């Protein structure tokens, strides 16, 4: 007996990933302007913060704009957006691991990067 995933199940999984990686980056990006969910500046490595030509809050607003754009790209061009989000999350995770700060967040971001990469790969079949 062959074990095949149904086309419907694959489409459901893809859509769940697509809308998750559309909504989460947009919400997290928008929150960089309001800090309702958390104070995002706490996640900046102090050695990097000292090199910035502007305040930590301005840096996080720039990050927020990038995340909002990434979420929109996932919605419109899922494969490309998936690779962008996977790369972005990997860079963030590596920054945390290098400084050995927020290792739990780094691990979470690596798992999310793997999911975004998987979404990008599945989009080749679905879209």
pLDDT digits (tens, 9 = 90+) for 28-85: 999 999 999 999 999 988 888 889 999 999 999 999 999 999 999 999 999 999 999 9
Model confidence at 127, pLDDT cuts 50, 70, 90, reads: confident
The answer to whether residue 72 sits within a structural domain is yes
pLDDT of residue 47: 82
The answer to whether residue 94 sits within a structural domain is yes
The answer to whether residue 44 sits within a structural domain is yes
The answer to whether residue 42 sits within a structural domain is yes
Instruction: Work out how many domains the chain is built from and give that number.
Output: 1
- Inter-CA distances, 27 with 9, 40, 68, 105, Å: 27, 13, 8, 17
Instruction: Compute the mean pLDDT over every residue in the chain, rounded to the nearest whole number.
Output: 93
The answer to whether residue 48 sits within a structural domain is yes
The answer to whether residue 2 sits within a structural domain is no
The answer to whether residue 100 sits within a structural domain is yes
Domain that holds residue 53: 7-126
């Amino acid at each position: 007996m062959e074990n095949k995933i149904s086309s419907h199940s694959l489409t459901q999984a893809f859509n769940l990933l697509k809308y998750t990686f559309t909504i989460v980056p947009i919400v997290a990006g928008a929150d960089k302007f309001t800090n309702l969910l958390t104070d995002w500046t706490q996640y900046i490595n102090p050695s990097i913060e000292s090199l910035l030509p502007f305040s930590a809050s301005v840096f996080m607003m720039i990050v927020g704009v990038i995340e909002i754009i990434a979420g929109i790209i996932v919605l419109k061009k899922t494969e490309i957006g998936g690779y962008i989000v996977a790369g972005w999350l990997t860079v963030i995770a590596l920054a945390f691991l290098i400084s050995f700060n927020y290792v739990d967040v780094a691990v979470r971001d690596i798992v999310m990067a793997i999911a975004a990469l998987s979404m990008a790969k599945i989009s080749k079949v679905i879209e």
